[in-house]
Amino acid sequence: MQATASYCYHPSNCLVPRPPTLLRSLRLCSPLLGSSCRESKDLSLKTSTFGLSSSKQRSLRSKHGIVVASTNVAAPLWDSWKPEKSSSRPSLSDILWPSAGAFAAMAILGKMDQILAAKGVSMTIAPLGAVCAVLFATPKSPAARKYNMFMAQIGCAAIGVLAFSLFGPGWLARSSALAASLAFMIYTGSTHPPAASLPLLFIDGVKFHGLNFWYALFPGAAGCIILCLIDRSLDN
């Protein structure tokens, strides 16, 4: 095939065509020229597609088999379903001590439930189980910080009481309380996921309604004090 194009010498001592247009360089490229030809082809494509829309540039690249590397390629969707890669497996003590802490916490709270049974309230609530997981299993996470824990526990519980007072039981109280709780944690920099369930627990838990705004301190914040003391004793 003949082509009317000028030639130039590449630093690799190989004769390659100048890339004035995309079509001309594609005619002159041959497998014998190797990487030099590919460089010329890519440069030619850039000069010929200058000023075109991004969709047209993509279609030209696809048509001529040119792949453009990018560092912004999203990870496959299934990567988040795989376990996190770690350098080593957790030791036996890393498994036993958090489990022992959770057992001791629930045992103590259960004993307190027996004492408080006459008053119709309970210390063993679901959010404190989630606090155990955060405090004992991931003690270095932001959610395990004492500021995050107590600020979120007190603030979200109070929001739940306020939402119930304004809207009564129902979906509006639940949704507005949860949204306000998330906004509160983000604004105060005290993200603590277990605290987000406290408003819902109050709205749906009839036995807590008599506490009114005391619910901000009991059982959530009071239970967290006990959990922190247990965590402290395990560290020592």
Mean pLDDT of all residues in 103-124: 89
Tokens representing residue 233 in the block: 């004793």
In this predicted structure, what is the pLDDT of residue 80? Answer: 79
User: How far apart are the C-alpha atoms of 27 and 65, rounded to whole Å?
Assistant: 14
Tokens representing residue 55 in the block: 């969709």
User: How far apart are the C-alpha atoms of 175 and 163, rounded to whole Å?
Assistant: 9
pLDDT tens digits for 53-78?
A: 555 555 555 555 554 445 555 667 77
Residue 181 has pLDDT above 80, yes or no: yes
Percent of the chain with pLDDT over 90: 53
* CB distance 136 to 191 below 8 Å: no
State the CB neighbour count (10 A cutoff) for residue 25: 24
Q: Which helix (H) or strand (E) holds 7?
A: strand 7-9
In this predicted structure, what is the pLDDT of residue 37? Answer: 47
Q: Please provide residue 70's backbone torsions phi and psi, each rounded to the nearest 5 degrees.
A: -145, 145
| Residue 9 per-residue DSSP state | E
Residue for token pair 């008053």: 119
- Which amino acid makes up residue 34? G
Residue ranges covered by each domain of the chain: 7-63, 95-235
Mean pLDDT of all residues in 167-193: 96
In this predicted structure, what is the pLDDT of residue 149? Answer: 96
pLDDT tens digits for 120-138?
A: 888 899 999 999 999 999 9
pLDDT tens digits for 208-221?
A: 999 999 999 999 99
- Which amino acid makes up residue 5? A
